[in-house]
Amino acid sequence: MWINLTYSALEAGFGFYTNSLALISDALHNLGDAAGLGLAWVAAWLATHAPTERHTFGWRRATQLSPLMNAILLVAFSGALLWESFRRIQNPPDVPGFTLIWVASIGILVNIGTAALFYRGQHTDLNKRGAFLHLMADAAVSVAVVLAGLGIWLYGWHWLDPVTSLLVAIVVGYSSWRLLKESFMQVMDAVPENLDKAQVETYLLSLPNVAAVHHVHIWSLGAEEIALTAHIVRNTTQQHDAFIDQTNQDLLQKFNINHATLQIELGQSCLHDQHDHAPHY
């Protein structure tokens, strides 16, 4: 976070000094990354808080709110950049191309280096994935700024500065849209994308002495933690504890569900089935 903040200040300073919208837009994007890393940092810290009487799950949901706020921030930046880029295309300023080249080259090194720190954990942790995508998008943006600087320096194509900023806005908006969608779905307790609810139900139905399965709910509690609740109808009264222990182990191994709560029933239906399609309060 501090590396990105330092580079954002450097890049913004040269952007205002040279009147380069490409550098200013890249600096804003880097500032957004620093803010995003700060949010991820705070969320990871909150997630370590132990459960309380009021917050029985602890603060693990903070790791889902962080990428949602991160994505909203990126979308807002991309909208502002689009507006300013269109305005400047009509009258592109005189920008020194060589300054764009060396300042943006530093940005490539900074962003790839910091993104590498999140590569390993970004496949299973949406909080880390948000930070990783942010930083890789910045690296791509910095490459575009370097190419624009080469065009301005070698050929005097000053229109490349606002056009590059326009491309930055499109890249930022596109890369943040999927993150916005995924984080919103997580906050709304949707089934994680890497899980198929039907497959989980099929597995539960295949277990010994299971006659029916209903009220299966799967959602993400936070980074790398998936919860499940289910009502399981069994045609035996024997060995419920052993059955639950083995099923929990299988759910962890087969589906990476590590917070399962199973309700065993001895009948074909329960009272909740009468209101299966109605909201529960």
Name residue 221's amino acid.
L
Report the number of secondary-structure helices (H) and strands (E) in the chain. 8, 3
Q: pLDDT tens digits for 142-172?
A: 888 888 889 888 888 888 888 887 887 787 7
36-40, 120-124, 196-200, 273-277: range with lowest mean pLDDT: 273-277
Tell me the two tokens of residue 143: 């490459």
pLDDT band at residue 250 using 50, 70 and 90 as cut-offs: very high
When pLDDT is averaged across residues 34-60 and rounded to a whole number, the result is 78
Whole-Å CA distances, 191 to 32, 63, 187, 267? 29, 16, 11, 27
Predicted TM-score of the model (pTM) = 0.61
Structure tokens at 213: 């399965």
Residue 10 carries which side chain, given as an amino acid letter? Answer: L
Q: For residue 66, give the nearest of 168, 232, 186 by alpha carbon.
A: 186
Q: Which residues pair with 233 in a beta bridge?
A: 212, 265
HSE on the CB side for 134, CA within 13 Å? Answer: 37
Q: Residue 280 has what pLDDT?
A: 45
Per the model's pLDDT, the better-predicted residue between 237 and 191 turns out to be 191
Q: What is the mean pLDDT of residues 230-257?
A: 92
- Work out the mean pLDDT of the chain and round it to a whole number: 81
**Better-scored residue on pLDDT, 48 or 275:** 48
Are 142 and 89 a contacting pair, CB within 8 Å? no
CA distance 170 to 79: 9
pLDDT at residue 1 greater than cutoff 60: yes
More confident residue, 29 or 270: 29
CA distance 180 to 78: 13
pLDDT of residue 201: 95
Residues 227 and 218: their CA atoms lie apart, in Å, by 6
Type and span of the H or E element at 257? none
Between 48 and 205, name the one with better pLDDT.
205
Over residues 134-145, the mean pLDDT reads 79
Three-class SS state of 212: strand
Tokens standing for residue 138: 């910045």
> Strand, coil or helix: what is 211?
strand
The pair of three-digit structure tokens given for residue 8, joined into one six-digit string: 């954002």
CB atoms within 10 A of CB 224: 16
> What region does 156 belong to: left with phi over 0, alpha with psi -120 to 50, or beta?
left
- Measured between alpha carbons, how far is 129 from 131 in angstroms, rounded to an integer? 5
Question: Distance between CA 190 and CA 217 in Å, rounded?
Answer: 9
Sheet holding 259-265, edge to edge: 210-222, 225-234, 259-265
CB 145 within 8 A of CB 26: yes
